[in-house]
A and B are shown apart, each in its own frame.
Chain A
Amino acid sequence: MALPMSRASVNGTDHALPADPRRTLLDWLREDLGLTGTKKGCDHGQCGACTVLVDGRRINSCLSLAQLHDGDTIETIESIGSADNLSPLQKAFVTHDGFQCGYCTPGQICSAKAMMQELSEGWASAVSDDVTAAPDITREELRERMSGNLCRCGAYSNIIAALEEVLADAASERADA
């Protein structure tokens, strides 16, 4: 039942998945592909530093065996923007000082990117008053939706400020369009 082709697309490039089934998606990205922007903070799905996007959805790459990603499309922080060509989201993190040590930051940013997609699809959260309705984008909603990403430096309120700016810019662009 082993699949003949065990490959995944990472940031647009096709790669063979690792031979050792124990290797997690996180360790594969960091050790085999050299994509160390994705961080290992706890290795047990308890901090969110390892957040990447798989088929557009955010997951904890530490809790996912790499071989289970055959055929998947994976995006890491490296695909969102480089140091000399930052995305608006990354720029907002810099402007609002949405990080200090920087170790949780790629995970926060990947998580935020996916969260904005979830918002646009109308997903509810645990703090939504009405789970049947499209969510209001309040600070409380943003905090709840980002709670899978720990930041021990305590940059939380700066991160939320960065997200508010990006969401407001996106909304005004939509209004202009």
Chain B
Amino acid sequence: MSRTDTVTYDSPDTRNLLDHTRQGVIGKPLDRPEGPLKVSGSATYSAEWKFDDCAEGVLVLATIAQGTVQRLHKQRVLDMPGVLAVLADEAMTRRSTQGTAGEAPVQGVHTVDYFAQPIALVVAETFEQARDAALALEVDYVESKSPIALDPESPDAEVEDPDNSETVEGGDLEKAMHDAAFAIDVEYRTPGHASAAMEPHATIAQWHGDRLELHGSYQMLAYNVKEIADCLSIDPEKVRIIAPYVGGGFGSKLGITHEAVAAAIAARQLKRPVRVVMSRQQVFETVMRRSETRQRVRLASDASGKLIGLGHEALVSNLPDEEFAEPVTQATEFLYGGENRLLKVEVARISRMTAGSVRAPGEAVGMQVLEAAMDELAEAVDIDPVELRKRNLPAKVPVEGTAYSSRMLVEALDQGAEAFGWDQRRPRPCQTREGDWWIGMGMASAARVNMLVPAEARVTLKADGAALVETDQTDIGTGSYAILGQIAGEMLGLPIDRVNVVLGDTSLPAGAGSGGSFGAISTGSAVMRACEAIRTTLSEALGCDTDALDLKDGTATSGDLSQSLSDLLGGNDIVETGKIEPGKTAEDFSQASYGAFFAEVAVHAFTGETRVRRMTGAFGFGRVLNAKTARSQCLGGMVWGIGSALTEELAFDLRDGHLVNHDLAEYHVPVHADVPAIEVILLEERDAAASPLQAKGVGELGICGAAGAITNAIYNACGARLRNFPMTLDKVIPHLPDPFAEVA
């Protein structure tokens, strides 16, 4: 028997059930259950499934930015050894799919929208043959006679108000700036970023009659099924995606990308499995980018540093007709006070690969700029940067008037400062020199919106008293396997080794998918809901109220009643499907995860090289579901902050629109040597408005502001106030004091 128990989350679940269950596994820093597979190389990633007779496809990318493909010289390529097909099907995708689109992106590879857009797929018996043949394909193009701009800041670029973000206006910002005791009006820039997940995008497609089976690397399978089906004009019921292990995503695998559709089309035509793995260069050039931003921040404060006005306006970019625009001001809306405000995002339409959600879209770049500007204000007001933040936390969200569900920002600021030793900071720049290095400290707030999204999961309590959790939720490194097992173990009173979690297969109920930090809380809420239904059945069997049921170590107890689960189940399984839908809590409360970053950097007095010496992050994100994986998420985010502050930048050639640094040698993600000891403090919090788990998202919080702390530390170290990320040494050098001068 299986039922679906659906809950629309309209009011906060303040029962805090997980505080009353007794198994004691929730929140514990348990190892990832899939860890042994991953460390032994036996977890199977997308390109690693073996199928007899699998052909190999390699995408061919355009070498113009805008125009049409006039002719593909196929014959010479078809004559090459092992080549099976050259495909340029109009169902192939021209752009990547935005997260949660659930429908096809722009299709048709005859038209070229941007440099390095896929225009064909070459399929051969072996990878080596296909790779050679793909490079041998000659293409005739007709370049567009009315090309759009390549540079978002070019006067030729058409600028629009985006569909996905609304301007926030309140009071009179101009007047506030005029009246302010201190006014900061600054312009910052952040470059484009790449997700650069370690596993390149890959799909193996095969058809079983009219049913399509894909082994692929995707983040949100339930949506991905619909996207593929829409591309191929088939029933989504006919598509199955299998993705138990995904080698990182960071947004780049939210929606389906080019290789998936191309593989499916090729497999259908050739009547055999086809694998398409993108090269690292192709992943960089054609999958997805975080938009570059130009941000104007205006801060108007009274003499005490209290904000009376706040402006945050951003120019971002995307291809024409894309709904997504980097929501730069997302956290600015609720983080600080200042009733006179203008928050606005504009999008320039340019020819450059699709801009989409890269880890923490909006806050990742919006927070680092806002927090750098706040440092400028703290200096102007001459108060401690931590104190400035504390003075500006409103009781309700400005303009909207919404209440906060919970906010641990003050605690994060205080505990982070204490652990870091913030009181050792010298407020003026250029005060501490160790050998050839200037030393400085900086801080920033962290904030990231919280989202609950629809999710489903099935939990089976087996007759032998073991549990099985099943959902198509993915684990892209986020800890889903561990967390979902802990929720089920806690709710059903089972030791963790009695819970098996099966993920990443669309034949299972549709989880939330991995994105927007919502995977664990949404799918986890569905698991919890299914377990509650099982608890109801068990309490009926035991003969007690559900509220009085106590489950621990496989035994059900209530007062004097006590029975082992296997006895209670009497040889039967209990199967329940739990489903959560977002409801009124999403509108009634401003929900966000909060935190604070503290960084110490060294800036070389001669060369301007910056090295982060240590970092502390303190974070409050509701209930901690697994202290180990949550900590790792925070760590990872802070490493992204280091990259964003110091090294990461997509460099486009504005003459032809091509990406110059399209590999991991020239697009500099941080390496081991760039990453110091990082301290993570997890604050205990319950946020009942956020989810029935009282948990909020943590997957992206660690990046949201981290680069600001580093930037502020650079200024504190050497006096270089830089407003153009990343803070590479070429930008630092002009601001450096004479390296031979005595320290003031």
Contact = CB atoms under 8 A, between A and B. Distances in A.
Interface of A: 20, 22-23, 27, 30-31, 34-44, 46-47, 49, 76-78, 80-84, 86, 90-91, 93-95, 97, 99-106, 109, 127, 139-140, 142-144, 146-160
Nearest to B38: A102
Contact of B280 (A42, A84, A94): A42
A150 B637 contact: no
A99 B39 contact: yes
A91 B640 CA distance: 26
Contact of A37 (B31, B42, B673): B42
Contacts of A30: 48
B269 interface: no
Interface stretch (B163-171, B193-201, B255-263, B552-560): B193-201
B197 A152 contact: yes
Nearest to B44: A36
Contact of A23 (B31, B128, B477): B128
B32 interface: yes
Nearest to A144: B673
A157 B635 contact: yes
Interface in B583-637: 628-629, 631-633, 635-637
B280 A44 contact: yes
A101 B151 CA distance: 35
Given A153-B248, A154-B635, 11 more contacts: A34-B50, A37-B41, A83-B36, A86-B36, A90-B39, A100-B633, A101-B476, A102-B477, A106-B40, A149-B672, A155-B632
6 contacts: A37-B40, A37-B41, A37-B42, A101-B198, A101-B476, A154-B637
A78 B663 contact: no
Contacts of B673: 127, 140, 143-144, 147
Name the prevailing secondary structure of the B interface residues.
loop
A156 B477 contact: no
Interface in B265-300: 277, 279-280
Interface in B10-31: 31
Interface residues of B, number: 63
A143 to B, nearest CB: 4
A171 B127 CA distance: 45
Contacts of B38: 99, 102, 105
A159 B672 contact: yes
Residue of B39, B280, B629 ringed by the most chain A CB atoms within 10 A: B39
Contacts of B195: 152
A46 B280 contact: yes
Residue of B35, B250, B631 ringed by the most chain A CB atoms within 10 A: B35
A76 B199 contact: no
Given A143-B675, A154-B639, A104 B40 contact: no
- 5 closest residue pairs by CB, A with B: A37-B41, A154-B639, A103-B247, A100-B477, A101-B477
B126 interface: yes
Residue of A38, A39, A90, A100 ringed by the most chain B CB atoms within 10 A: A100
B664 A78 contact: no
B88 to A, nearest CB: 25
A38 to B, nearest CB: 7
B8 to A, nearest CB: 32
Contacts of B39: 81, 86, 90-91, 93-94, 99, 102, 105-106, 109
Given A86-B40, A159-B672, A97 B34 contact: no
A40 B47 CA distance: 10
B678 interface: yes
A39 B31 contact: no
Contacts of A39: 45, 198-199, 247
Interface string B661-681: 001110001111101111000
Nearest to A47: B664
Contacts of B69: none
Contacts of A35: 41
Nearest to B42: A83
Contacts of A160: 672
Contacts of A37: 40-42
A102 B43 contact: yes
A84 B127 CA distance: 33
Given A38-B41, A82-B42, A103 B664 contact: no
Residue of B249, B277, B477 ringed by the most chain A CB atoms within 10 A: B477
A112 B636 CA distance: 20
Contacts of B675: 143, 154, 156-157
B199 to A, nearest CB: 4
Interface string B686-703: 000000000000000000
A136 B48 CA distance: 40
Nearest to B54: A31
B96 interface: no
Contact of B198 (A27, A104, A144): A104
Contacts of A78: 40-42
A38 B48 CA distance: 10
A43 B40 contact: no
Interface in B47-83: 47-48, 50
Nearest to B633: A100
Contact of B200 (A40, A149, A150, A156): A40
Contacts of B45: 36, 39, 103
Contacts of A149: 672
Nearest to B678: A157
B207 interface: no
Nearest to A38: B41
Residue of B43, B631, B669, B673 ringed by the most chain A CB atoms within 10 A: B673
A140 B197 CA distance: 25
Contact of B677 (A93, A106, A139, A147): A139
A159 B529 CA distance: 36
Contacts of A20: 126, 128
B198 A154 contact: no
A34 to B, nearest CB: 7
Contacts of B677: 139, 157
Nearest to A106: B41
B440 to A, nearest CB: 20
A152 to B, nearest CB: 5
Residue of A34, A81, A101 ringed by the most chain B CB atoms within 10 A: A101
A58 B536 CA distance: 56
Contacts of B32: 94, 97
A166 B423 CA distance: 36
Nearest to A31: B127
